[in-house]
Amino acid sequence: MTTLIHLSDLHFGHAFVPHLGELILKEINDIRPEIVVISGDFTMRARHSEYDQARAFLNQITIPILTIPGNHDQPLFAPIERLTRPMARYAKYIHNGVDATRATETWFVAGVNDNRPILPGGFWSRDQCAWIERECANAPRGATRVIATHHQLDWAGKWRPAGMWYPARARALLARCGVELVLNGHTHIPGAIQTREGIVIARAGTATSNRTRHGQSNSYNLITRDEKQISVFIRRYNERANAFVAERAFTFERKRNS
Protein backbone atom coordinates (compact mmCIF):
# COMPACT_ATOMS: atom_id res chain seq x y z
CA MET A 1 0.00 0.00 0.00
CA THR A 2 1.30 3.43 -0.95
CA THR A 3 0.48 6.76 0.68
CA LEU A 4 -0.04 10.35 -0.50
CA ILE A 5 -0.71 13.42 1.65
CA HIS A 6 -2.98 16.05 0.11
CA LEU A 7 -2.93 19.57 1.57
CA SER A 8 -4.72 22.66 0.33
CA ASP A 9 -5.51 26.28 1.14
CA LEU A 10 -2.66 26.95 3.56
CA HIS A 11 -3.22 30.73 3.25
CA PHE A 12 0.04 32.12 4.57
CA GLY A 13 -0.45 35.67 5.79
CA HIS A 14 -2.82 36.96 8.46
CA ALA A 15 -5.08 33.88 8.14
CA PHE A 16 -2.29 31.36 8.71
CA VAL A 17 -2.17 29.59 12.09
CA PRO A 18 1.52 28.79 12.84
CA HIS A 19 0.75 26.09 15.38
CA LEU A 20 -1.25 24.14 12.78
CA GLY A 21 1.63 24.49 10.33
CA GLU A 22 3.97 22.93 12.89
CA LEU A 23 1.56 20.03 13.42
CA ILE A 24 1.26 19.43 9.68
CA LEU A 25 5.04 19.26 9.32
CA LYS A 26 5.12 16.76 12.17
CA GLU A 27 2.41 14.68 10.47
CA ILE A 28 4.41 14.58 7.25
CA ASN A 29 7.57 13.62 9.11
CA ASP A 30 5.81 10.88 11.10
CA ILE A 31 3.80 9.37 8.23
CA ARG A 32 6.52 9.69 5.58
CA PRO A 33 4.20 9.51 2.56
CA GLU A 34 5.56 8.81 -0.87
CA ILE A 35 4.56 12.29 -2.05
CA VAL A 36 2.90 15.47 -0.76
CA VAL A 37 0.51 17.33 -3.10
CA ILE A 38 -0.57 20.89 -2.28
CA SER A 39 -3.51 22.06 -4.39
CA GLY A 40 -3.21 25.83 -4.24
CA ASP A 41 -3.91 28.96 -2.21
CA PHE A 42 -0.53 29.16 -0.53
CA THR A 43 -1.19 32.81 0.32
CA MET A 44 -4.02 35.16 1.24
CA ARG A 45 -3.23 38.00 -1.15
CA ALA A 46 -0.07 36.88 -2.98
CA ARG A 47 2.09 39.36 -1.09
CA HIS A 48 5.85 38.80 -1.21
CA SER A 49 5.96 38.41 2.58
CA GLU A 50 3.29 35.69 2.42
CA TYR A 51 5.21 33.85 -0.27
CA ASP A 52 8.34 34.09 1.86
CA GLN A 53 6.50 32.28 4.65
CA ALA A 54 5.20 29.64 2.24
CA ARG A 55 8.68 29.01 0.86
CA ALA A 56 10.11 28.60 4.37
CA PHE A 57 7.39 26.03 5.12
CA LEU A 58 8.08 24.03 1.95
CA ASN A 59 11.80 24.02 2.65
CA GLN A 60 11.10 21.91 5.74
CA ILE A 61 9.53 19.09 3.72
CA THR A 62 12.16 16.59 2.62
CA ILE A 63 10.06 14.19 0.52
CA PRO A 64 8.82 14.77 -3.06
CA ILE A 65 6.28 17.60 -3.41
CA LEU A 66 3.99 18.67 -6.23
CA THR A 67 2.33 22.08 -6.03
CA ILE A 68 -0.16 24.08 -8.05
CA PRO A 69 -1.39 27.66 -7.51
CA GLY A 70 -4.83 28.74 -6.36
CA ASN A 71 -6.91 31.81 -7.10
CA HIS A 72 -5.52 33.57 -4.01
CA ASP A 73 -1.98 33.13 -5.36
CA GLN A 74 -2.56 35.87 -7.94
CA PRO A 75 -1.80 39.43 -6.68
CA LEU A 76 -4.98 41.27 -5.74
CA PHE A 77 -3.51 44.72 -5.10
CA ALA A 78 -1.31 44.88 -8.20
CA PRO A 79 -3.92 44.87 -11.01
CA ILE A 80 -1.53 45.35 -13.91
CA GLU A 81 0.66 42.49 -12.72
CA ARG A 82 -2.45 40.35 -12.14
CA LEU A 83 -3.52 40.88 -15.75
CA THR A 84 -0.12 40.53 -17.39
CA ARG A 85 1.85 38.17 -15.11
CA PRO A 86 -0.64 36.61 -12.69
CA MET A 87 1.59 33.71 -11.68
CA ALA A 88 4.97 35.47 -11.63
CA ARG A 89 5.20 35.53 -7.83
CA TYR A 90 4.13 31.91 -7.55
CA ALA A 91 6.81 30.97 -10.08
CA LYS A 92 9.44 32.96 -8.17
CA TYR A 93 8.76 31.54 -4.72
CA ILE A 94 7.03 28.16 -5.14
CA HIS A 95 7.71 26.51 -8.50
CA ASN A 96 8.95 27.92 -11.78
CA GLY A 97 6.61 25.75 -13.86
CA VAL A 98 2.94 26.43 -13.19
CA ASP A 99 1.80 23.17 -14.83
CA ALA A 100 4.08 20.42 -13.59
CA THR A 101 4.38 16.67 -13.07
CA ARG A 102 5.98 14.53 -10.41
CA ALA A 103 6.47 10.77 -10.57
CA THR A 104 7.29 8.39 -7.74
CA GLU A 105 7.40 4.63 -7.75
CA THR A 106 3.60 4.27 -7.64
CA TRP A 107 2.11 7.75 -8.21
CA PHE A 108 2.16 9.95 -11.30
CA VAL A 109 0.78 13.41 -10.46
CA ALA A 110 0.13 16.14 -13.01
CA GLY A 111 -0.65 19.56 -11.54
CA VAL A 112 -2.71 21.83 -13.81
CA ASN A 113 -3.31 25.53 -13.14
CA ASP A 114 -7.00 26.31 -13.65
CA ASN A 115 -6.98 29.91 -12.39
CA ARG A 116 -7.73 32.99 -14.47
CA PRO A 117 -6.97 36.60 -13.48
CA ILE A 118 -10.54 37.92 -13.92
CA LEU A 119 -13.04 35.11 -14.42
CA PRO A 120 -14.26 33.25 -11.32
CA GLY A 121 -13.97 29.50 -11.10
CA GLY A 122 -11.46 27.53 -13.11
CA PHE A 123 -10.92 25.95 -16.51
CA TRP A 124 -8.18 24.43 -18.63
CA SER A 125 -7.18 25.80 -22.01
CA ARG A 126 -6.98 23.64 -25.13
CA ASP A 127 -3.21 23.63 -24.81
CA GLN A 128 -3.49 22.43 -21.22
CA CYS A 129 -5.88 19.65 -22.21
CA ALA A 130 -3.43 18.51 -24.88
CA TRP A 131 -0.64 18.68 -22.26
CA ILE A 132 -2.64 16.47 -19.89
CA GLU A 133 -3.09 13.89 -22.65
CA ARG A 134 0.63 13.88 -23.51
CA GLU A 135 1.80 13.67 -19.92
CA CYS A 136 -0.60 10.88 -19.00
CA ALA A 137 0.42 8.93 -22.11
CA ASN A 138 4.02 9.09 -20.87
CA ALA A 139 3.24 8.16 -17.27
CA PRO A 140 5.33 5.32 -15.84
CA ARG A 141 3.74 1.94 -16.37
CA GLY A 142 1.83 0.84 -13.29
CA ALA A 143 1.74 4.27 -11.66
CA THR A 144 -1.62 5.63 -10.53
CA ARG A 145 -2.42 8.70 -12.62
CA VAL A 146 -3.46 11.71 -10.56
CA ILE A 147 -4.54 15.22 -11.56
CA ALA A 148 -4.21 18.08 -9.08
CA THR A 149 -6.10 21.30 -9.77
CA HIS A 150 -7.44 24.01 -7.47
CA HIS A 151 -11.16 24.40 -8.14
CA GLN A 152 -13.62 21.62 -7.40
CA LEU A 153 -14.38 19.33 -10.33
CA ASP A 154 -17.60 18.20 -8.66
CA TRP A 155 -19.75 21.13 -7.57
CA ALA A 156 -23.29 19.69 -7.70
CA GLY A 157 -24.44 22.36 -10.15
CA LYS A 158 -23.88 25.19 -7.66
CA TRP A 159 -22.14 28.30 -8.97
CA ARG A 160 -21.19 29.57 -5.51
CA PRO A 161 -18.44 28.99 -4.69
CA ALA A 162 -17.53 28.80 -8.37
CA GLY A 163 -16.02 25.51 -9.42
CA MET A 164 -14.52 24.14 -12.60
CA TRP A 165 -16.21 25.18 -15.82
CA TYR A 166 -17.50 22.33 -18.02
CA PRO A 167 -16.94 19.60 -15.42
CA ALA A 168 -18.45 16.81 -17.56
CA ARG A 169 -16.05 17.65 -20.39
CA ALA A 170 -13.12 17.62 -17.97
CA ARG A 171 -14.14 14.26 -16.50
CA ALA A 172 -14.44 12.73 -19.97
CA LEU A 173 -10.93 13.93 -20.85
CA LEU A 174 -9.48 12.49 -17.65
CA ALA A 175 -11.25 9.18 -18.15
CA ARG A 176 -9.73 8.88 -21.64
CA CYS A 177 -6.33 9.56 -20.11
CA GLY A 178 -6.69 6.82 -17.51
CA VAL A 179 -6.75 9.22 -14.55
CA GLU A 180 -7.95 7.50 -11.38
CA LEU A 181 -7.71 10.32 -8.84
CA VAL A 182 -8.33 14.09 -8.86
CA LEU A 183 -7.20 16.33 -6.01
CA ASN A 184 -8.56 19.83 -5.39
CA GLY A 185 -9.28 22.31 -2.64
CA HIS A 186 -10.84 25.81 -2.85
CA THR A 187 -14.05 25.25 -0.86
CA HIS A 188 -12.32 24.52 2.49
CA ILE A 189 -14.78 21.64 2.89
CA PRO A 190 -13.27 18.13 2.69
CA GLY A 191 -14.92 15.17 1.00
CA ALA A 192 -14.57 12.45 -1.61
CA ILE A 193 -16.77 10.91 -4.30
CA GLN A 194 -16.36 8.55 -7.23
CA THR A 195 -17.78 9.69 -10.57
CA ARG A 196 -19.65 7.49 -13.02
CA GLU A 197 -16.43 7.36 -15.04
CA GLY A 198 -14.75 5.70 -12.04
CA ILE A 199 -12.60 8.71 -11.10
CA VAL A 200 -12.13 9.39 -7.40
CA ILE A 201 -12.35 13.11 -6.59
CA ALA A 202 -10.85 14.08 -3.24
CA ARG A 203 -11.34 17.61 -1.94
CA ALA A 204 -9.17 18.84 0.92
CA GLY A 205 -10.18 21.36 3.57
CA THR A 206 -7.96 24.17 4.74
CA ALA A 207 -5.07 22.63 6.63
CA THR A 208 -3.56 25.63 8.37
CA SER A 209 -5.74 28.74 8.14
CA ASN A 210 -8.49 30.26 10.26
CA ARG A 211 -10.76 30.44 7.20
CA THR A 212 -12.81 27.37 8.09
CA ARG A 213 -16.36 27.18 6.74
CA HIS A 214 -19.75 25.70 7.61
CA GLY A 215 -18.63 24.35 10.95
CA GLN A 216 -15.67 22.49 9.50
CA SER A 217 -12.39 22.46 11.40
CA ASN A 218 -8.94 22.32 9.84
CA SER A 219 -8.15 19.14 7.96
CA TYR A 220 -6.11 17.44 5.27
CA ASN A 221 -6.40 14.21 3.28
CA LEU A 222 -4.33 11.06 3.67
CA ILE A 223 -4.78 8.88 0.59
CA THR A 224 -3.74 5.27 0.13
CA ARG A 225 -3.82 2.95 -2.84
CA ASP A 226 -3.45 -0.77 -3.30
CA GLU A 227 -4.23 -3.06 -6.22
CA LYS A 228 -7.97 -3.04 -5.60
CA GLN A 229 -8.96 0.26 -4.02
CA ILE A 230 -8.26 3.92 -3.33
CA SER A 231 -9.01 5.20 0.17
CA VAL A 232 -9.31 8.83 1.27
CA PHE A 233 -8.92 9.48 5.00
CA ILE A 234 -9.88 12.91 6.30
CA ARG A 235 -7.60 13.84 9.17
CA ARG A 236 -9.13 16.67 11.17
CA TYR A 237 -7.64 18.90 13.83
CA ASN A 238 -8.91 17.99 17.30
CA GLU A 239 -8.41 20.84 19.74
CA ARG A 240 -8.69 18.66 22.84
CA ALA A 241 -6.05 16.24 21.57
CA ASN A 242 -4.06 19.09 19.97
CA ALA A 243 -3.46 16.84 17.00
CA PHE A 244 -4.82 15.85 13.62
CA VAL A 245 -6.84 12.66 14.04
CA ALA A 246 -8.62 10.28 11.67
CA GLU A 247 -12.19 11.52 11.30
CA ARG A 248 -13.74 9.87 8.24
CA ALA A 249 -12.75 7.40 5.55
CA PHE A 250 -13.97 6.91 1.98
CA THR A 251 -13.01 3.74 0.11
CA PHE A 252 -13.54 3.23 -3.61
CA GLU A 253 -12.96 0.30 -5.94
CA ARG A 254 -10.37 1.08 -8.57
CA LYS A 255 -11.83 1.20 -12.08
CA ARG A 256 -8.88 1.52 -14.41
CA ASN A 257 -9.57 3.33 -17.64
CA SER A 258 -6.47 2.27 -19.54
Long-range interactions of 196-199: CB distance < 8 A, separation 24+ = 197/171, 197/172, 197/255, 197/257, 198/254, 198/255, 198/256, 198/257, 199/171, 199/174, 199/175
Domain map (residue ranges) of the chain = 2-253
For the chain, list residues with pLDDT below 70: 1, 155-161, 257-258
CATH 3.60.21.10 for domain 2-253, yes or no, is yes
Q: The pTM is what? A: 0.95
Q: pLDDT tens digits for 223-236?
A: 999 999 999 999 99
Q: pLDDT tens digits for 85-115?
A: 999 999 999 999 899 999 999 999 999 999 9
